[in-house]
Amino acid sequence: MQANPFTYGNPISDPARFFGRRREIEQIFSRLRNAEFESSSVVGEYRTGKTSLFKYLSHPSVIKAQGLDPRRFVFLYDDLGMLSKATTPTRFWQRLLRKISRKVGEPGLKAIAREAGKAKTIDTYTLADFFDIVDEQGWHVILLLDEFENVTKSPAFGPDFFTGLRSLAIHRPLALITSSRRELIDLCHSKEVSSSPFFNIFANINLRLFTPEEAQELISKSLQGTGVAFTPTERTALFQVSGYHPFFLQAACHFLFEAHVKGLAEAERRRFWRKEFEEEATPHFKQYWGNSDDGEKILLTVLALLERKGQTTDRHFGVDELNELYSRSEVTLIGLEKRGLLLGQDDRYRLFSTVFGRWIIREMTDTAGDEQTFEAWLASSKSSLDRFSSKARSEVAEILSKIGSQYRDLVINWLADPRNIAAAIGLLRAALNV
């Protein structure tokens, strides 16, 4: 069978197969090229391509094309997903110094890094001395620290660690490029750490969804030389289900390509790739949903219900319309768009994927796992409905009978806001056929 050019699951290591992110790449390198040799923090939801970006940034051909000498600028990648609660700052630096010793070409510096990495205790003075030598030799070290939130969330790394790291990054030839799912300042194990000036050295670079042009480029260039062509209708369907999300776009294209190679007819092809895509996407939808706070879940549900009520795949909804249904929509939209869960267009928004919307409604209305009947739940939870008027109480109860028990409190809290109750009840009743 012909090799499938669309891959998902593992990071992309070949620069020729890396697409998009031109603005983010230029921003990172421009901060490295300037006199201050500045650090960057890459922020992106799970599966938005942070690791692939790091592998691209650290490739010698890319470094050279960006005007930096790979022999003088040492890009060192480390996956901090392996960092455990037992990992100490000394163990952290032992690993990085040993990796630096294997990376640099100058024998003397290599030996110094190797010896420093053997020390039983590594403090800021030891590191300052090492990076002074790095400076004297004309080298620059760029640490690409993937999943850096595992450091900021670990109690083993206290304020002194971050103060020392900030000093090294400001005064020595050391730049940090970190990645995290949320902004680092929101992922700290204590207020003392989150208030550290360490976080002020970074420019936050958010990995959002691809642009339509980037998505089209990924498909067109990947298909070159394969003899397979996706029809305009198929491309439109791909974008509806993947929403220009890099991971979901690759996965959807992978299954559509497989359907073409199998020689399936158009209708069968459509059924095949959509079914395979939904099975692949579901665990990731669950993770995005699980990582969302209550306000985000409410707004995601609002958008899913609006799409279902409208029975259309290309509607966008304005901020005023969303605020009428959930009063905190405007502030919540910002975070969801940064996470790549929404598509924005001229201050109007929709869920990034039509499949995600259908999944949300199934998740919210799944009562199969409830341990008690709705009637039993209602009898034991009457006080939860006391905040509603008698008329609204019966309507809310009807709606809750369609909602899984684990989400009833979420819906009650949403509907309890007097600014939203009438419009929200109307939407729920229409979309859920109550």
Sheet with 202-206: list strands edge to edge.
73-79, 140-146, 174-180, 39-43, 202-206
**Angle between helix 212-223 and 232-242 (nearest 10):** 130
Q: What tens digit of pLDDT does each residue of 108-153 get?
A: 888 988 988 888 899 999 999 999 999 999 999 999 999 999 999 9
Q: Assign residue 227 a region (left: φ > 0; alpha: ψ between -120 and 50; beta: otherwise).
A: left
Please, which pLDDT band fits residue 35 given cuts at 50, 70 and 90? confident
Residue 312 has pLDDT above 60, yes or no: no
For residues 167 and 39, the answer to whether their CB atoms sit within 8 Å is: no
- Could you tell me how far CA 126 lies from the centroid of its own chain? 36
Residue 188 has a pLDDT of 93
pLDDT-derived band at 310, boundaries 50, 70, 90: confident
Contacts of residue 379, defined as CB under 8 A and 6 or more positions apart, other chains included, come to none
| Average confidence (pLDDT) over 342-360 | 94
User: What is the pLDDT averaged over residues 19-33?
Assistant: 96
Report the pLDDT averaged over residues 371-400.
91
In one-letter notation, the amino acid at residue 260 is H
pLDDT of residue 298: 98
- pLDDT average, residue stretch 68-95: 94
* Confidence category of residue 170, pLDDT binned at 50, 70, 90: very high
Report in angstroms the alpha-carbon separations of 171 from 38, 71, 166, 320: 11, 21, 9, 48
Rounded Cα distance between 340 and 11, Å, is 18
**Percentage of residues in the chain with pLDDT exceeding 70?**
99
Polymer length in residues for the chain: 434
pLDDT at 278: 97
Pair of tokens at residue 368:
């199969």
What are the residue ranges spanned by the domains of the chain?
Answer: 22-206, 212-290, 294-431
pLDDT at 224: 96
For the segment 223-245, what is each residue's pLDDT rounded down to a tens digit? 999 999 999 999 999 999 999 99
Under 8 Å between Cβ of 178 and 205: no
Superfamily of domain 22-206: P-loop containing nucleotide triphosphate hydrolases (3.40.50.300)
Strand order in the sheet with 317-318: 317-318, 348-351, 342-345
Average pLDDT rounded to a whole number, residues 404-433: 95
Residue 37 reports pLDDT greater than 70: yes
Q: Where does the pLDDT of residue 179 fall: very low under 50, low under 70, confident under 90, or very high at 90 and above?
A: very high
User: In the structure, how many helices (H) and strands (E) does the chain have?
Assistant: 21, 8
φ/ψ of residue 179, rounded to 5: -130, 145
Which pLDDT score is estimated for 180? 96
pLDDT given for residue 66 in this prediction: 96
Residue 342: strand pairing partners: 351
Looking at residue 1, its pLDDT comes to 65
Query: DSSP class of residue 124?
Result: H
- Cα 191–chain centre separation: 24
Backbone φ, ψ for residue 252 (5° rounding): -65, -45
pLDDT at 261 over 60: yes
3 state SS of 174 = strand
- CB within 8 A of 87, min separation 6: which ones? 154, 156
Average pLDDT in the 318-335 region?
95
Q: Are 125 and 168 in contact (CB under 8 A)?
A: no
Q: Is the pLDDT of residue 313 over 60?
A: no
What pLDDT is attached to residue 346? Answer: 85
Q: How confident is the model at residue 311, as a pLDDT?
A: 58
State the pLDDT at residue 110. 86
pLDDT per residue over 50-76, tens digit each?
999 999 999 999 999 999 998 899 999
- pLDDT (tens digit per residue) in 96-107: 999 999 988 788
Q: Is the pLDDT reported for residue 247 higher than 60?
A: yes
pLDDT of residue 44: 95
pLDDT of residue 314: 58
